Amino acid sequence: MGAESRWSKWRQSEGANGLLMVSPTAIYAILMLAAPLGTIFLYSFLTDGYLEIIRQFTVANYVEAWTNELYRSVMIRSLGVAMTVTFVTVILAFPVAYFVSFHVEASKKSLWLFLITIPFWTSYLIRVFLWKVILGYNGVVNSGLIGLGIIDQPLDFILYNVNSVVITLAHAYAPFAILPIFVALEKIDRSLLEAGQDLGETKFRTFLRVTLPLAMPGVIASVLIVFIPTIGDYVTPQLVGGPEGRMVANLIQLQYLKLDNYPLGSAIAVSAMAIVTLVSLAFIGLNRRYLKGPK
Amino acid sequence: MKGRWFKVYAIGYLLFLYAPIIILPMFAFNDATVIAFPLTGFSTRWFAAMFEQPTLGLAVKNSLFIAITSSILATTLGIFAARASTRYRFPMKAGIMGLIMLPLVLPEIIVAVSLLVVLLGMGVNLSLWTVILGHVLICTPFTIAILSSAFQSLDQSLEEAAYDLGETAASTFRLIILPLVMPGIISSLLISFTISLDEFIIAFFLAGTEPTLPVFIFSQFRFPAAVPVIMALGTVLVCLSIVLLTIAEFFRRRGIAKTGGKDTGGFL
């Protein structure tokens, strides 16, 4: 059997057909995603000249990104905001996913999910801007509370700071949090819950010992799918964050488009991604026991 | 009743989700230049003012071109990947599919800057086409998610029957598979169109001097006097996307019903 016939045999195998089929998309992703990501990784080790990038290896960009007080504080703030948003979003989303999965009739589930996803698909910029209107000095919240006589001065701690960034992002990523939890809850075999109660557990104990552990893969997926993009959000901190609410994406944009310092911008971007990856891996590691469960 | 409290909570949650969309038309039809309460009176003048914005027309045209092109390209790439991942096992499948789906979670600003660096490094001039490159990348994972469920619910014996009856791989795809996954394809086109039309960061970095609709909207936020017109524009856009999504959902459900699958829920 020569190399040629082995080749032609491989050509007809399932693996080769699959690779051939996936190749247009895979090549596109390699050229437009993997290669560019590799390039910014490379750039982060180059030296910034005034008009061009000098091809000289250095770690100075990373030293700058990690020791400069300004960059470090923005990075820590971004991490804090992303964690808070993730926590708030997932906690608020869980009961909704639980309600749709356990209390809504099967025929109406799609409608509920559709209603939940619609706001997510409508103009992101305008939604963020409207939070500015809702939280602003003359906004809905303030005029509402004043109208009800609860406060007599408008609250000013709800706009142009970290709080408004958290509220707006928690709103933007809500569907992302609900859907994975819903899918995990739907997969739970309902007879397990009956078994739990037949064996003398209360409803609440059954929830804690059966439902929640089985829903954990969905919760973990929600956490990751909210946490990872949130840390890199640009529009929300830009529009409602004010100077105190700037996040890492604003910093990256500043380095690239305003200061033209591609190497430092790349070092900040790579650092942010490294932190996100480490935190996500640590989170998955902590919850490993929920993920391997019986298949 | 325990279920009732959940229902109250879920409805409250929906109100929170819809709060901006409910407030949007109030200001679009409000007869005041300042975006604040109390409302002063009903007016449609902001809608009329939309047509006096020359840049807006250009931005709409550019965005439509980008969205139509991106949705066709992304859906085409999505068909290949969804078909490959649902029908075949192949080497490095998890790695390859992982890379293709990565833009789903990757912050868009990372996609934008990395593409910017490479394109400028290669000496490519920024244009609408560079935006399309980025939009195809971020739309493809969504198309794969939709199309995979369409391909997954296909009964493989239909395909085998076609081969037994003498059809080739290509004619089987055209005569059997394509019609069955067509609703999925339409739904995927509409979703990619909606994503691309609404995408800001990538367009902001890669469009050069060409305005797209979100870039135009973002630039107008700096001028308080321009904001009421943007509220009117936003109202039109929200209505448009709700219509598109409803059509997409209709086709997605019909597709699942057609192939006899079970509806597992939304788009994501």
pLDDT of B268 reads: 42
Structural domain tally of chain B? 1
ipTM of the complex: 0.83
In this complex, do B23 and A119 lie within 8 Å of one another by their Cβ atoms? Answer: no
In this complex, do A33 and B90 lie within 8 Å of one another by their Cβ atoms? Answer: no
Residue A258 carries which DSSP code?
Answer: I
Structure tokens that stand for A185 in this block: 């809850």
Residue B147 CA to residue A95 CA, distance in Å, equals 29
CB contact at 8 A, A31 and B102: no
Does the pLDDT value for residue B261 go beyond 60?
Answer: no
CATH superfamily, with its number, for domain A65-292: MetI-like (1.10.3720.10)
**Residue in the block written with tokens 């709103």:** A171
Q: Nearest CA of chain B to the CA of A88: how many Å?
A: 13
Residue A265 has its nearest CB partner, among B91, B113, B234, at: B113
Residue B52 CA to residue A200 CA, distance in Å, equals 71
Q: Tell me what the mean pLDDT of segment A254-272 comes to.
A: 86
In this complex, do B24 and A143 lie within 8 Å of one another by their Cβ atoms? Answer: no
- Which residue of chain B is at minimal alpha-carbon distance from A204? B2
Mark out the alpha helices in chain A (DSSP H runs). 3-11, 14-29, 35-43, 60-67, 69-102, 109-121, 124-135, 140-147, 162-172, 174-187, 190-198, 203-206, 212-231, 235-240, 248-253, 262-286, 288-292
Using only the alpha carbons of chain B, give its radius of gyration.
Answer: 22
Residue B30 carries which DSSP code?
Answer: B
What is the residue-wise DSSP string for B8-29? HHHHHHHHHHHHHHHHHHHHHT
CB contact at 8 A, A122 and B214: no
Residue A125 CB contacts under 8 Å (≥ 6 apart), including other chains:
A235, A239, B198, B200, B214, B217, B218, B221
The pLDDT tens digits for B146-158 are 888 888 877 778 8
Residue B19 has its nearest CB partner, among A116, A134, A262, at: A134
Per-residue burial over B238-259, b if 16 or more Cβ lie within 10 Å, else e, is: beebeebbeebbebbeebbebb
The DSSP element (H or E) to which B136 belongs, if any, is: helix B128-152
Residue ranges making up the domain that contains B155: 48-258
In this complex, do B24 and A126 lie within 8 Å of one another by their Cβ atoms? Answer: yes
pLDDT of A293 reads: 54
Residue B142 CA to residue B104 CA, distance in Å, equals 8
In this complex, do B136 and A123 lie within 8 Å of one another by their Cβ atoms? Answer: no
CB contact at 8 A, B100 and A24: no
Does the pLDDT value for residue A140 go beyond 80?
Answer: no
Residue A275, chain B, CB below 8 Å: the answer is no
Residue A160 CA to residue A172 CA, distance in Å, equals 17
Per-residue burial over B138-155, b if 16 or more Cβ lie within 10 Å, else e, is: bbbbbbbbbbbbbbebbe
Q: What is the CATH number of the domain that holds B119?
A: 1.10.3720.10
Would B31 be classed as within a structural domain? no
Q: Tell me what the mean pLDDT of segment A15-31 comes to.
A: 89
Local confidence band at B260 (pLDDT 50, 70, 90 cut-offs): low
- Which residue of chain B is at minimal alpha-carbon distance from A261? B117
- DSSP-derived 3-state class of residue A154: coil
Q: How far are the Cα atoms of A29, B79, B111, B144 from residue B149, in angstroms, in the given order? A: 21, 11, 26, 8
Q: Tell me what the mean pLDDT of segment B169-194 comes to.
A: 85
For residues A158 and B99, the model is more confident at B99
pLDDT of B204 reads: 92
Residue B163, chain A, CB below 8 Å: the answer is no
**Residue type for position A228:** I
Q: Which of residues 217-236 of B touch A (CB under 8 A)?
A: 217-218, 221, 227, 230-231, 234
Would B134 be classed as within a structural domain? yes
The pLDDT tens digits for A24-60 are 999 999 999 999 999 989 888 888 776 677 777 888 8
Residues on chain A touching B201 (C-beta within 8 angstroms): 234-235, 249
Does the pLDDT value for residue B173 go beyond 50?
Answer: yes
Phi, psi of B42 (to 5 degrees): -80, 140
CB contact at 8 A, B234 and B88: no
Q: What are the residue boundaries of the structural domains of chain A, listed by start?
A: 65-292
The beta strands (E) that lie in B65-174 are given as: none
Residues on chain B touching A123 (C-beta within 8 angstroms): 198, 214, 217, 234, 237-238, 241
Residue A232 CA to residue A166 CA, distance in Å, equals 13
Q: What is the Cβ-side half-sphere exposure of residue B126, based on CA atoms within 13 angstroms? A: 20
Residue A98 CA to residue A96 CA, distance in Å, equals 5
In this complex, do A130 and B24 lie within 8 Å of one another by their Cβ atoms? Answer: yes
Residues on chain B touching A119 (C-beta within 8 angstroms): 17-18, 20-21
- DSSP-derived 3-state class of residue A157: coil
In this complex, do A121 and B241 lie within 8 Å of one another by their Cβ atoms? Answer: yes
Q: Nearest CA of chain B to the CA of A69: how many Å?
A: 23
Q: Which of residues 179-198 of A touch B (CB under 8 A)?
A: 179, 182-183, 186
In this complex, do B20 and A119 lie within 8 Å of one another by their Cβ atoms? Answer: yes
CB contact at 8 A, A105 and B13: no
Q: Which of A124, A125, A206 to mutate to test the interface with B (most CBs of B within 10 A)?
A: A125
Picking from A203-207, A227-231, B140-144, which range would have the lowest pLDDT averaged per residue?
Answer: A203-207
**Residue type for position B146:** I
In this complex, do A116 and B17 lie within 8 Å of one another by their Cβ atoms? Answer: yes
pLDDT of B123 reads: 86
Would B1 be classed as within a structural domain? no
Q: Which residues pair with A48 in a beta bridge?
A: A53
Would B227 be classed as within a structural domain? yes
Size of chain A, expressed as the number of residues it contains: 295
Mark out the alpha helices in A30-68 (DSSP H runs). 35-43, 60-67
Residues on chain A touching B109 (C-beta within 8 angstroms): 232, 234, 249, 252-253, 269
Residues on chain B touching A26 (C-beta within 8 angstroms): 81, 96, 99-100
pLDDT of B267 reads: 45
Residue B26 CB contacts under 8 Å (≥ 6 apart), including other chains:
B39
The pLDDT tens digits for B227-248 are 888 888 889 888 888 888 888 7
Q: Which of A53, A94, A121, A141 to mutate to test the interface with B (most CBs of B within 10 A)?
A: A121
